Amino acid sequence: MSNHLKLKQGRLIIAGLVILLIILHQDNWNWNNSNLVFGFIPVTLFYHMCISFSASVIWFMATRIAWPDDVEDEALSELSEKGGDA
């Protein structure tokens, strides 16, 4: 598979995961739950801490499978054509 196709596939996966996370963020099922996780963290807070943690994991995946490496090359090639720092 070409790099371009791999990147496209990676970006689709990340886009899908981000959309899923946005949907999961609206946790209507926890709305009236007053339980405490570990005896001190409200469920609503704990759930959203998990959302934050999942966001970090998804963004880590994004840096591995969907990172636009060509952006760096583009900037550098344009600079070398100009012959110096922008």
Contacts to other proteins by CB under 8 A? 2-4, 18, 21-22, 25-28, 30-36, 38-45, 47-49, 51-53, 55-56, 59-60, 62-63, 67-72, 74-75, 78-79, 85-86
- Could you tell me where the DSSP H helices lie in 2-68? 3-25, 43-65
Pair of tokens at residue 41: 């963290």
Tell the smallest beta-carbon distance from residue 12 to other proteins (Å). 14
Q: Is 67 left (phi over 0), alpha (psi -120 to 50) or beta?
A: beta
CB 64 within 8 A of CB 11: no
Tell the smallest beta-carbon distance from residue 68 to other proteins (Å). 6
Tell the smallest beta-carbon distance from residue 8 to other proteins (Å). 10
Q: Which is nearer to other proteins, 16 or 78 (CB)?
A: 78
Q: Residue 82 is inside which H or E element, if any?
A: helix 69-82
